[in-house]
Structure 1
Amino acid sequence: MGVHMTAPTRRAARGATVTATTRISPDLIRLSFTCPGIIGADLPYTDHYVKLLFVPEGADYSWPYDLAEIRDTRPREMHPVTRTYTLCNIDTVAGTFDIDFVIHGDEGLAGPWAMTASPGDQIAFAGPGGKWSPTPDYEHFVLAGDEAAAPAIVEALQQLPAGTTATAYIEISTDGARFDVPTPASAELVWVPREGAVHGSRLIEAVRAGGYPGRKTSWFIHGVAEMVKETRRFLFVDGDVDRADVSISGYWRLGMTEDQWQASKREFAEAMEADEAASAALS
């Protein structure tokens, strides 16, 4: 869970070892990891992510390996395949973290791996990266996303600054797919079941229904690209929300693998911004 795109990195890979697997909902498996490489790391954000590195079938190497050396000496089809996931429950003293994986049966790469993973299995990753967290210069936070963004939303709820409030919208497949979300008394959690609707469509309906808070608000909106496009229109075209108050991006796109989405993401963003500018000029 928490799939989203990042630019290719030359950062060295680190290794993590599975210590436990937990089914936290019908759609989600949580893998717990130990990773000495993050002990003492400065990880101040609530949206920290890693790029898991899957060695392609037929490759002549396995972990541990030098990521830069592999990329310099092997053909592209033999490079590790990346899938980006948000971390949760990070402990930089013990060197542990969790990752939640959305399960689609045998579909995809990371999900099937997570379904068969067991304690002792190892995976390499690049990162962590991250850049957002709730800060005390805001009074209220609106957090919205699907299963991919839920780990970052849950982390943000646990780190709300004193005296602030939040409304969190989490989209799930059905009402029976809820999972445990520790929610402070100052926050409202709104579950948004798809129940067969297109990913993101019910979520933007819920965010729109919530309107524009009357307090100084920070927005954290992430998930499927189509939802992000509509939410940006709600914020920047229909509303008068300052872009500096918004963290928003598509973690994934319907019908695309991560590699396909990453390759087309800039073009999608440019077209979206042009459409918003044209709409604003007409208003």
Structure 2
Amino acid sequence: MTIYRATVSRVRPLTDTMVRITFAGDDVPAFVSTGVDDEYVRLFFPHGADRRELSLPVSSGSGWETPEGRPTAPVRTFTVRAARPEAAEIDIDFVLHDDGIAGPWAAAARPGDPLGLNAPTGLYDPPADLARQFLVCDLTGLPALARILENTPQGVVTRAVVEVPDERSVQPLPAHPRAKVTWTYGGNGHGPSRLAELVTAAVPPHAELAGTYIWVAGETTALRSVRKHLRKTLALPTERFKVVGYWAPGGESWSARYKALPADVKAELAALWDDPQGDLEDVTITYEEQLTRLGL
């Protein structure tokens, strides 16, 4: 896995809660876009107070490792809003918030700030007979949703529902002749997420779903019941939907609580993925049910 080095070339506020940062650099032309609308990359941030001091890991097979004696770069995952390899640029939209690594970094970003990133991976994968799609997300899913709308074929009917903190977070989205976008306020760390409720309302039991694809992205824990609704209640085949967890409330404390689990419990959870029996979405549901029982 190659880690590329890029630098901030432009910073553009989009709303009170989101900023678009354009990255450029000699390595960026080597960045190969998958062409998939919700492709994501891992971003490697400066490890300390000096924004210009970047300790990038090196490739290690399919992963990466930090050279001995070097500090470890914090890593976060983000959606690529736009990729322009021919111009040696990519755009990434950041949600602004005070917690963690990425939000405060983005709020203070200036041209010349360095960052590391790897090659992208895409998830949005509608079937060949796509005639209609439901897109539901919170604020973190907006960059992917916008890119999906940009590239949706003209004849596809699209129903999009977006949960943002408040009206200050609403932003213009690409126009599509057969798309309807509904904005709703709440969730996003400012209150309980309504993503599960929104998906159930948009795609109720016994809905006619021939030629339909469903894409849902946002708060990870809120999407557990969404995945069960789509897979178990609606009995959808996995090629008809994609559920993508982008973030978790108190992500740092969640990781600490997971690491504190007894070794045998962590081994049991890991064993679900060692030799998965059945469809991976079903395995994911089992895994998430166990996490819920553990209070995670």
TM-score bracket for this pair, using the shorter chain length: 0.7 to 0.9
Offset of residue 159 of structure 1? 0.7
1:90 aligns with 2:90: no
Corresponding residue number in structure 2 for 1:154: 146
- The CA deviation string for residues 110-157 of structure 1, in whole angstroms up to 9 with x for no partner, is 111111111122211122222324454211111111122221111111
Offset of residue 39 of structure 1? 2.8
- Equivalent positions of 1:1-283 (< 5 A) are 11-39=1-29, 41-57=32-48, 62-63=53-54, 65=56, 67-68=58-59, 71=65, 73-74=67-68, 78-105=71-98, 107-134=99-126, 136-194=128-186, 198-201=191-194, 203-211=195-203, 212-257=207-252, 260=255, 272-273=285-286
Q: Matches of 1:224 and 1:200 in 2, distance apart? A: 7
Offset of residue 197 of structure 1? 6.3
Q: In structure 2, the residue corresponding to 1:257 is in which secondary structure?
A: helix
- Summarize the Cα distance change of 1:118–1:259 in structure 2 as closer, same or farther, 3 Å threshold: farther
Corresponding residue number in structure 1 for 2:275: none
- Summarize the Cα distance change of 1:259–1:204 in structure 2 as closer, same or farther, 3 Å threshold: closer
Compare relative contact order (CA 8 Å, sep 6+) and give the higher one, 1 or 2.
1
Q: In structure 2, the residue corresponding to 1:153 is in which secondary structure?
A: helix
Q: Matches of 1:54 and 1:121 in 2, distance apart? A: 10
Q: Matches of 1:181 and 1:72 in 2, distance apart? A: 39
Q: Do the aligned residues in 2 keep the contact of 1:183 with 1:189 (CA within 8 Å)?
A: no
- Summarize the Cα distance change of 1:273–1:111 in structure 2 as closer, same or farther, 3 Å threshold: same
Q: Do the aligned residues in 1 keep the contact of 2:57 with 2:67 (CA within 8 Å)?
A: no
Q: Matches of 1:102 and 1:42 in 2, distance apart? A: 22
The percentage of aligned residue pairs carrying the same residue is 24
- Summarize the Cα distance change of 1:271–1:120 in structure 2 as closer, same or farther, 3 Å threshold: closer
Q: Do the aligned residues in 1 keep the contact of 2:80 with 2:143 (CA within 8 Å)?
A: yes
Q: Matches of 1:163 and 1:82 in 2, distance apart? A: 39
Q: In structure 1, the residue corresponding to 2:81 is in which secondary structure?
A: strand
- Summarize the Cα distance change of 1:275–1:162 in structure 2 as closer, same or farther, 3 Å threshold: same
Q: In structure 2, the residue corresponding to 1:73 is in which secondary structure?
A: coil
- Summarize the Cα distance change of 1:155–1:139 in structure 2 as closer, same or farther, 3 Å threshold: same
Offset of residue 16 of structure 1? 1.5
Unaligned runs of 5+ in 2: 260-265, 273-280, 290-296
Q: Do the aligned residues in 2 keep the contact of 1:223 with 1:251 (CA within 8 Å)?
A: yes
Aligned residue-pair number:
262
After TM superposition, the structure 1 stretch with the greater mean CA deviation from structure 2, 43-52 or 188-197, is 188-197
RMSD: 3.3
Q: In structure 2, the residue corresponding to 1:240 is in which secondary structure?
A: coil
Offset of residue 237 of structure 1? 2.4
What is the identity, as a one-letter code, of the residue corresponding to 2:234? G
Q: Matches of 1:16 and 1:258 in 2, distance apart? A: 30
